[in-house]
Amino acid sequence: MENSKEMRTWLNDLGLDHPLVIAGPCSAETEEQVLRIAHALKDTDVTYLRAGIWKPRTRPGNFEGVGALGLKWLQRAKEETGMLVGTEVANAAHVQLALEHDIDLLWIGARSTVSPFIVQEIADALKGTDKVVLVKNPVNPDLSLWLGGIERLYTADIKKLGVIHRGFSTYEKSKYRNIPEWQLAIELQSRFPDLPLICDPSHITGNRDMIFDVSQTALDLNFDGLMIETHDDPDNAWSDAAQQVTPDVLIQIMKDLKIRKESDAEAEYNSKLGTLRAQIDVIDNGLIETIGKRMRISDEIGQLKKQKNVAILQNKRWNEILGRMILEGQEKGLSEEFILKMFKAIHQESINHQEKILKA
Ligand code: PEP
Ligand code: MN
């Protein structure tokens, strides 16, 4: 697949002077709930009302969505408020029902994007549609799998496309529910600049207090829009209670977010600079994260050495590491002097850590 301007026309045609906002509850629970939320979001910057009808739950026994009945509620919300509506589809039957109920936007969830069979089934069922179709990233950080999903849709003559970055699952504990590997989204954007890129801070954070910051980072990285789970009584939501915000909070978030306007040369320069700086910030955070991880492993080695009563400094091993890193550095255009300085500093920090452990 090649970058194609066609993928973006639906977004341009909306003629927004702000990022696209898709908002609404994680799950449609009752008709009244959907209508209350829709009315609270109409006449705001929200363009699409979202609600999950079929809910993919990690483990059985949780609320699995109201099913096709909820499509009628979305249709009614659309009639009453004039908003466009969207929901998640996970198989051909869902697609058919969604199309019958004139749902404007369909998205493929993270647990579906991992399966080429499911994505192909959805693409076949949607063939040639003029509805907007968005592909969430797969739960695992695999850019090819994500792009593969888009390719399957594009090949089925579905041209109103976009992707949603909702973060990636990990075994490691983190402050995020799903880690936002921003580098992946940045790479996708540089390969397909015309593929609309939307961030879902709700599923990235799992925590309503972090929605603003993650949304701002996304806009700084030139994302085209946000999908934010919004519920009129978040604490009592039937799914994803901790991450949903009220319509009032959403309106405040949309007001506070800084959007970079590219209206003249100066603004364009600032916008480019802002994007590049945001990329650097992401990488710097990653560096600290990686060095922290290295130190934790070094601590474990310290424990082992303590048990066996072995000396901290192992010169042979250290010289091997340095030699290897100088060569790797050369390939990346980094000077020997810099590599030596950097690794000496890292090594010293490692020795300090291990000394502390041996003395403890
Ligand atoms: C959702 O948007 O409600 C959802 C289930 O998201 P994800 O596929 O990102 O987990
Ligand atoms: Mn959800």
Per-residue pLDDT reduced to its tens digit, 33-60:
999 999 999 999 999 999 999 998 888 8
The secondary structure element, H or E, covering residue 51 is: none
- In short, whether 57's Cβ falls inside 6 Å of ligand 1 is no
Measured by CA distance, the residue closest to atom 4 of ligand 1 is 109
Cα gap 297→235, rounded to integer Å: 39
For 54-79, write each residue's pLDDT tens digit: 998 888 888 899 999 999 999 999 99
Q: What is the DSSP letter of 347?
A: H
**Best of 50, 145, 200 to mutate for ligand 1, by most ligand atoms within 8 A of CB?**
200
Measured by CA distance, the residue closest to atom 1 of ligand 1 is 26
- Nearest-atom index, ligand 1, CA of 227: 2
pLDDT at 264 exceeding the cut of 70: no
Q: Which CATH architecture has domain 4-259?
A: Alpha-Beta Barrel (3.20)
Give me the amino acid identity at 339.
I
Cα gap 186→195, rounded to integer Å: 12
Distance from CA of residue 281 to its chain's centroid?
Answer: 17
Nearest C-alpha neighbor of 158 from the set 193, 134, 183, 182:
134
Nearest C-alpha neighbor of 109 from the set 100, 99, 96, 118:
118
Report the CATH fold assignment for 267-359: Chorismate Mutase Domain, subunit A (1.20.59)
| Domain spans, the chain | 4-259, 267-359
- In short, whether 165's Cβ falls inside 6 Å of ligand 1 is no
pLDDT attached to residue 210: 98
Residues 320-338: what's their mean pLDDT? 91
347 forms bridges with which residues in the sheet?
A: none
State the distance between the two ends of the chain, measured CA to CA, in whole angstroms. Answer: 58
Residues 157-185: what's their mean pLDDT? 94
Burial of 340 (0-12, 13-18, 19+ CB in 10 A): middle
pLDDT at 258 exceeding the cut of 70: yes
pLDDT attached to residue 134: 98
Nearest C-alpha neighbor of 18 from the set 189, 272, 261:
261
Give me the amino acid identity at 70.
G
pLDDT at 310 exceeding the cut of 90: no
**Best of 22, 58, 59, 88 to mutate for ligand 1, by most ligand atoms within 8 A of CB?**
88
Residues 84-93: what's their mean pLDDT? 98
DSSP of 39-74: HHHTTSSEEEEE-BSS---SSTTS----TTHHHHHH
Same fold, 4-259 and 267-359: no
pLDDT at 262 exceeding the cut of 60: no
Residues 8-22: what's their mean pLDDT? 97
Higher pLDDT pick, 260 / 212:
212
